[in-house]
C-alpha cells in the first residue's frame, strides 16, 4: 500500500466516469406486458427519454432526439407521461405541450401553444380523453391549477375544467369502472407534507363531476397516493397516526391497514410518486422506510399483516404492479440504481436496466454506517457515515481524514444509504463523508419532520454541526478540517452553518439560498408560501428572515466558500449567489464562483456535473493543503492565496 495524505489518493471513481457511465432512472410503468421507464442522460445535456421493453425483451427508445419527456408543472415536474393501450401521452420540455404518441407515428400535440403545463395524467378511455393537472400561466400573478380533461382527437385543446379553486392539485385517479375520480388538493400556506385533502366525485353524463366528497385530510393531515381497488374501495396513505401509514375507505368508513412505525409516504416534491400498489382486492405491495432504509412488503388486508420480501435493496421507489409482476427502481449500498422487475408470487427478481454501466471493484467502495448522535436541546439526529476507503492507500501515522458533511435539500428530503458515486468520489480519495438526516427530514415520523417548523436555519444547522463535532470527538475525523456542502435548501443550511457556527473550516454551496427575503419575494408558486412554516409569514416575520439570512451576517463568516450556480435558475436566482460572493470578496475571504450559463435549478449536463465535483475537490485541496492525484482544471479563488 502507498502511504499518502488523506485527500491525495488516486481513485478509479473519476468525475468523467460518474457522468459518462450513468443515467438517471425514474417513472417506471407497466402496461399490456410491456415495461417503460425514463432515462435522464447527462451526456445529452440532461435530456430525458422514454424507454420501452416489450414482453419479449426487446428494448426501444420511444422519444429520440429532439424529444425531451419532462414537465415543469410545480417547477419540479414529475408525472410527465402515461401509457394506455400501447399509446404514450407525454409532456415535451421545450414547449410544455401535451403530446400523443402512437407507435410508428410522429408525436401529435393534444394542447395548443399557450403558457400551460400538464402533469400526472391518465386516460379516460370511456370518454376518449386525458385527465390530469393543468398549470395555467396566462393570468398575471400566480399560476392557476386545475384538473382538466383533454380530448384525444380533434384540434388541440386547453381542456375542460373538472375541478378548480384550490391552489394545488395532484394524483387524479380513475376508478376501475370509470365512474368516479379521486384526487388530492392543498392550498397556501400548506405544503403537501403539511396538510392535503383527498376528494372523490362521480362523473355526470356530460363528463363533468358531481358534488365532490372529502374522504380524508386537512391542515394537519398529509394524504399521499390514492389508488382505487378492484372492488371499488379507495386506498391511500395518511400520517394521521404520526407515521405515513396505509388506509382504505369503503365509501363510509376508513380502516387502518397494518399500522406500523414506518413511513409508506414521501414529501410530494414531484408528481407521480408511488410507494404502494394493489395486487388484487386482498393484497397490496408496499414499500416503506425506517431509519433511512427501505424495504418491500406484501400486505394482507384480511389479517393486516406485513410480509417483507428478502431483497438486497436499501432504497426502493416508483412502485407499480400488473398481475403478478412489480416494477420499481432500487439500489443498495454497493450496487447502483436500477429498474427491477419482481415476480410477486415467487419473490424472484431481475435487473432490466442499470443506471451505471461501470464495473467497479467493490474494494474501493465505502459502506455507510447508520449513526445517531446527540444534538442541541436534548435532540437525537441521524445520518450515514462513510469512512475513507481505498485498498491502494493508507494515511500517514496519526493523521485523521477531513470530513465533508452533506446537508440534503428539501429540506424535507432524506438521505439514502444506496450507492452514490458522488459520495464514493470523496471517500475513495481519502475524505470522510457524513450524510445528515437533520431534524425536518422524512423517514422518522411526523414529529421529527415537524422539528423544522419555525426553526429552519437553526435545527438543521445544529444537527449538521453536532454530527461533525461528534465524529471529531470520537477521533474518526480531523476536527480542524471539517467542511460542508449542499444544494438548494441544503445550500442554505450550508451557508448558515458556515456563518452561524465555527465548526466548519470551508464549504460549497450549489444554487443555495443566501437571502430568505429574496426567496420569499422571487420564487415560483409551489414554494411561494413554503417559508411561512419554516420561518414565519412574510412580510410579518421580516425580522426573522433577516436574522436567519447569511447574506446579512457576513461579518460572522470567517472561512472560505465556493459557489456553483445555474444562470437559468428560477427557484434560486443567480443574484443570491452573486450578492453573497461580492460580500465575501469585499471582506477579503477566499471565495470562488462557478457559473453555468445553460443550467437551471439542479445540474443536469455532464460537463457541469463534472466541473462542480472537480471544482469542489480542487477548492478543498487548496484550503486544506493536500496534493491532488489527478489533473483538475483550477478554479479561480479570489483573495487566495492569503497575503
If you write DSSP's letter for every residue of 141-181 in order, what string do you get?
SS-EEEEEEEESSSS----EEEEE-SSEEEEEEE-TTSSEE
When pLDDT is averaged across residues 506-527 and rounded to a whole number, the result is 90
More confident site: 574 or 275: 275
Which range among 163-167, 298-302, 380-384, 573-577 shows the weakest confidence by mean pLDDT? 573-577
Which range among 26-30, 287-291, 491-495, 504-508 shows the weakest confidence by mean pLDDT? 287-291
Q: What are the tens digits of pLDDT across the range 381-415?
A: 999 999 999 999 999 999 999 999 999 988 988 99
Which range among 227-236, 350-359, 423-432 shows the weakest confidence by mean pLDDT? 350-359
Domain definitions of the chain by residue range: 2-15+360-624, 274-355
pLDDT of 45 reads 83
Q: What are the tens digits of pLDDT across the range 120-162?
A: 999 999 999 999 999 999 999 999 999 999 999 999 999 999 9
When pLDDT is averaged across residues 361-367 and rounded to a whole number, the result is 95
Q: What are the tens digits of pLDDT across the range 65-98?
A: 999 999 999 999 999 999 999 999 999 999 999 9
Per-residue pLDDT band for 524 (boundaries 50, 70, 90) equals confident
- DSSP notation for 195-261: --EEEEEEB-TTS-B-S-EEEEEBTTB-EEEEEE-TTS-EEEEE-TTSS-EEEEE-SS-EEEES--S
pLDDT of 519 reads 84
pLDDT of 551 reads 87
Helix axes 459-473, 489-500, angle to 10 degrees: 60
Cα dist from 493 to 412, 464, 501, 510, 589, whole Å: 12, 9, 11, 11, 20
CATH class as words, domain 2-15+360-624: alpha beta
DSSP element (H, E) containing 19: helix 15-20
pLDDT of 382 reads 96
Extract the C-alpha cell encoding 579: 450578492
pLDDT of 643 reads 55
Q: What are the tens digits of pLDDT across the range 58-67?
A: 999 999 999 9
Beta strands in 323-362 (DSSP E): 325-332, 335-343, 349-354
When pLDDT is averaged across residues 221-230 and rounded to a whole number, the result is 97
pLDDT of 378 reads 96
Per-residue pLDDT band for 252 (boundaries 50, 70, 90) equals very high
pLDDT of 413 reads 87
pLDDT of 142 reads 94
- Placement of cell 375542460 in the chain: 160
* Average pLDDT of every residue of the chain: 95
Amino acid at each position: 500500500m502507498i502511504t499518502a495524505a488523506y485527500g491525495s489518493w488516486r481513485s478509479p471513481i473519476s468525475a468523467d466516469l460518474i457522468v459518462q457511465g450513468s443515467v438517471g432512472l425514474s417513472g417506471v410503468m407497466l402496461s399490456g406486458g410491456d415495461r417503460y421507464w425514463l432515462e435522464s442522460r447527462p451526456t445529452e445535456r440532461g435530456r430525458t427519454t422514454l424507454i420501452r421493453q416489450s414482453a419479449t425483451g426487446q428494448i426501444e427508445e420511444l422519444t429520440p432526439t429532439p424529444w425531451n419527456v419532462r414537465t415543469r408543472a410545480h417547477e419540479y415536474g414529475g408525472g410527465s407521461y402515461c401509457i394506455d393501450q400501447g399509446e404514450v401521452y407525454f409532456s415535451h420540455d421545450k414547449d410544455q405541450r401535451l403530446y400523443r404518441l402512437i407507435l410508428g407515428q410522429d408525436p401529435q400535440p393534444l394542447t395548443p401553444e399557450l403558457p400551460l403545463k400538464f402533469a400526472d395524467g391518465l386516460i379516460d378511455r370511456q370518454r376518449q380523453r386525458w385527465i390530469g393537472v393543468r398549470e395555467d400561466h396566462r393570468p398575471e400573478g400566480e399560476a392557476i391549477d386545475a384538473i382538466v380533461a383533454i380530448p384525444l382527437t380533434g384540434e388541440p385543446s386547453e381542456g375542460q375544467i373538472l375541478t378548480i379553486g384550490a391552489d394545488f392539485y395532484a394524483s387524479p385517479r380513475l376508478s376501475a369502472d370509470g365512474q368516479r375520480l379521486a384526487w388530492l388538493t392543498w392550498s397556501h400556506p400548506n405544503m403537501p407534507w403539511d396538510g392535503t385533502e383527498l376528494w372523490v366525485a362521480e362523473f355526470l353524463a356530460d363528463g363533468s363531476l358531481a358534488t365532490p366528497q372529502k374522504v380524508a385530510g386537512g391542515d394537519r393531515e398529509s394524504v399521499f397516493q390514492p389508488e382505487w381497488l378492484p372492488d371499488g374501495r379507495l386506498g391511500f396513505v395518511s400520517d394521521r397516526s404520526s407515521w405515513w401509514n396505509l388506509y382504505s375507505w369503503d365509501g363510509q368508513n376508513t380502516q387502518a391497514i397494518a399500522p406500523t412505525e414506518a413511513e409508506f409516504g414521501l414529501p410530494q416534491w414531484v408528481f407521480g410518486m408511488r410507494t404502494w400498489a394493489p395486487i388484487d382486492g386482498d393484497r397490496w405491495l408496499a414499500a416503506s422506510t425506517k431509519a433511512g432504509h427501505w424495504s418491500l412488503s406484501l400486505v394482507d388486508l384480511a389479517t393486516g399483516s406485513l410480509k417483507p420480501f428478502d431483497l438486497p435493496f436499501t432504497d426502493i421507489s416508483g412502485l407499480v404492479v400488473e398481475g403478478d409482476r412489480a416494477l420499481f427502481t432500487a439500489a443498495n449500498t454497493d450496487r447502483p440504481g436500477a429498474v427491477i422487475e419482481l415476480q410477486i408470487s415467487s419473490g424472484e427478481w431481475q435487473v432490466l436496466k442499470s443506471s451505471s454501466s461501470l464495473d467497479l471493484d467493490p474494494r474501493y467502495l465505502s459502506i455507510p454506517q447508520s449513526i445517531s448522535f446527540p444534538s442541541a436541546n436534548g435532540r437525537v439526529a441521524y445520518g450515514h457515515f462513510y469512512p475513507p476507503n481505498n485498498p491502494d492507500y493508507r494515511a500517514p501515522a496519526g493523521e485523521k481524514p477531513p470530513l465533508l458533511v452533506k446537508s440534503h435539500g428539501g429540506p424535507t428530503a432524506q438521505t439514502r444509504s444506496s450507492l452514490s458515486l458522488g459520495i464514493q468520489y470523496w471517500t475513495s480519495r481519502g475524505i470522510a463523508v457524513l450524510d445528515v438526516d437533520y431534524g425536518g427530514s422524512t423517514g422518522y415520523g411526523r414529529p421529527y419532520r415537524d422539528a423544522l417548523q419555525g426553526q429552519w436555519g437553526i435545527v438543521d444547522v445544529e444537527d449538521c454541526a453536532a454530527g461533525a463535532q461528534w465524529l471529531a470527538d470520537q477521533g474518526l475525523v480531523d476536527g480542524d478540517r471539517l467542511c460542508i456542502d449542499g444544494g438548494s435548501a441544503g445550500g442554505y443550511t450550508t451557508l448558515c452553518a458556515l456563518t452561524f457556527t465555527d465548526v466548519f473550516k470551508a464549504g460549497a454551496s450549489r444554487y443555495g439560498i443566501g437571502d430568505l427575503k429574496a426567496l420569499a419575494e422571487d420564487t415560483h408558486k409551489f414554494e411561494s408560501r413554503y417559508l411561512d412554516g419554516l420561518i414565519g409569514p412574510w412580510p410579518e416575520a421580516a425580522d426573522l428572515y433577516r436574522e436567519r439570512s447569511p447574506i446579512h451576517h457576513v461579518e460572522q463568516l470567517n472561512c472560505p466558500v465556493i459557489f456553483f450556480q445555474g444562470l437559468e435558475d428560477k427557484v434560486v436566482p443567480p443574484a443570491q449567489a452573486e450578492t453573497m460572493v461580492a460580500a465575501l470578496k469585499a471582506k477579503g475571504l477566499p471565495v470562488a464562483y462557478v457559473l453555468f450559463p445553460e443550467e437551471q435549478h439542479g445540474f443536469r449536463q455532464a460537463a457541469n456535473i463534472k466541473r462542480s465535483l472537480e471544482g469542489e475537490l480542487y477548492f478543498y485541496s487548496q484550503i486544506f493543503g493536500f496534493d491532488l492525484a489527478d489533473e483538475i482544471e483550477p478554479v479561480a479563488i479570489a483573495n487566495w492565496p492569503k497575503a
